Amino acid sequence: MRYESIAIHGGKSDDSGKNAVNYPIYLSSTFTQPSLDQFEEFVYSRGNNPTRSNVEKLVAELEGAKYGLALASGMAATSLVFGLLKQGDKVLINNNVYGGTWRYVSNIFADHGIEYEVVDDFNFYDFNDAAANVKMVFIETPSNPLLEITDIRKVSEEAKKRNILTVVDNTFLTSYFQKPLVLGADIVVYSATKYYAGHSDILAGLVVLNDEELYTKLKFFQNTYGGILSPLDSFLLTRGIKTLSLRLEKHQKNALLIAQYFENHPAVKDVYYPGLKSHKNYELQRFQAIGDGGVLSFRLQDGWDSKKFIENLKFFGLAVSLGGVESLICHPASMTHESYSPEWQEKIGIDSKLLRLAVGIEHEEDLLEDLSNALDKAKI
């Protein structure tokens, strides 16, 4: 089966002969067992729930992987994977990641005796310089919010030689556009709140991988920490996935048109979108992904007022998040990435002029007209 067909027909488990086209929502916290010494697959919903197992199977199939785990949010997924680290271990992380991930790394690691090092550009990182206690590389590509691209194959290869795990946050592209495991990564994490679910109506997180030993550990953590995806949200995630490919194609089409429009507009200073030929990693992105996603960042020139621009937009709501059908705009420095201190923000390029668009699937002409109108009104 190909991707679009798996999204609709994949993951289906036995539904006791009812043959429903939609796998049911098992709103049951517990399951009876036939006798004292007989245990079935489903015992208690923190460990396993049929609706959750169904979506876990589905996301693994979409990735061409063996195992999937569904969690209550993207941060629950990332935290689960960080749970693999022990006191004395060190993590290498790229220099702009989702603010919540940075919040974890810059606050919680220290309490657990875990070190971290921020790498400016993994594409030029020499792994011979990595300390002996490095146990994990954590990368976001494209990165949030600067849309920088990391060579997953190169990093995974170098990391593997040194027994370092490579973890990729693939939220911005999903397995539809990019398959990090195929490129050599060990674990993929997602905020499925975004494109997978696709309608800004649930929070969800995913972990996808092939290694049985790692899976057994993470499955144990999932049951023990307890931050699981509920049956109802598992159903909504399954439903969202059915239209993932269609939505992503439209998100991407709209995002590219807007990026190109910005690139040629006198009001716009910088545009960051990996689908632009001017992007510094355009070629690398062609190699490792088959799409560029629906998020782009930009700065306005000095003669244009960002606040006025945002206030005059009609379709782009001022909100954090991305990947829903509706277009959103956000100011990373004060919203999604406020957990970076002003010093860190300056160091990695998240300044007060940076704006991020999560481009929705509205009609492209409406979005372009909206942006054009707001730019006119924002001229000082």
Ligand X SMILES: Cc1ncc(COP(=O)(O)O)c(C=O)c1O
Helix H or strand E encompassing 137 = strand 134-140
Binds ligand X (CB under 6 A): choice among 53, 96, 191, 238? 191
Please give the residues from 259 up to 318 whose contact with ligand X meets the rule CB under 6 A: none
Would you call 369 helix, strand, or coil by DSSP? helix
Applying CB under 6 A, does 248 fall inside the site for ligand X? no
* Closer by beta carbon to ligand X, 177 or else 304: 177
For CA atoms 286, 289, 290, 293, the dihedral sign is negative
- 222 binding ligand X? (CB under 6 A): no
With CB atoms as reference, the residue minimizing the distance to ligand X is 74
Candidates 140, 148, 233, 292; binder of ligand X (CB under 6 A) is 140
75 touching ligand X, by CB under 6 A: yes
169 catalytically annotated: yes
Closer residue to ligand X, CB minimum distance, 74 or 180 = 74
**Range list of β-strands (E), 125-204:** 134-140, 165-169, 187-191
**Would you call 2 helix, strand, or coil by DSSP?**
coil
- Minimum CB distance to ligand X, residue 145 (Å): 9
**137 bridge partner residues:** 92, 166
Dihedral angle sign, alpha carbons of residues 67, 215, 98, 346: negative
Q: What contacts 5, CB < 8 A, 6 or more positions away?
A: none
| Contact range with ligand X by CB under 6 A, out of 36-44, 72-80, 237-245, 304-312 | 72-80
Catalytic residue among 3, 12, 46, 282: 46
If the CB atoms of residues 63 and 140 are measured against ligand X, the closer one turns out to be: 140
Closest separation between CB of residue 344 and ligand X, Å? Answer: 17
Residue identified by tokens 């050599």 is 184
Q: Which residue is catalytic, options 98, 195, 272, 340?
A: 98
Q: Report the candidate in 167, 192, 161 with the shortest Cα–Cα distance to residue 85.
A: 167
CB of 120 to ligand X, least distance (A): 19
Structure-block tokens of residue 2: 């190909």
356 is an active site residue: no
Residue 98 known to be catalytic? yes
376 is catalytic: no
The minimum distance between CB 78 and ligand X, in angstroms, equals: 6
Interface residues for ligand X in 327-356 (CB under 6 A)? none
246: enclosing H helix or E strand: helix 244-263
14-27 burial code (b ≥16 CB/10 A, e <16): eeeeeeeeebebbe
Structure tokens at 137: 């590389």
Do 271 and 298 touch, CB atoms closer than 8 A? yes
Q: From the list 205, 231, 240, 275, which residue makes contact with ligand X (rule: CB under 6 A)?
A: 205
3-state secondary structure of 90: strand
Query: Which of the residues are catalytic?
Result: 46, 98, 169, 194
List residues binding ligand X (CB under 6 A): 73-75, 98, 100, 140, 144, 169, 171, 191, 193, 203, 205, 321
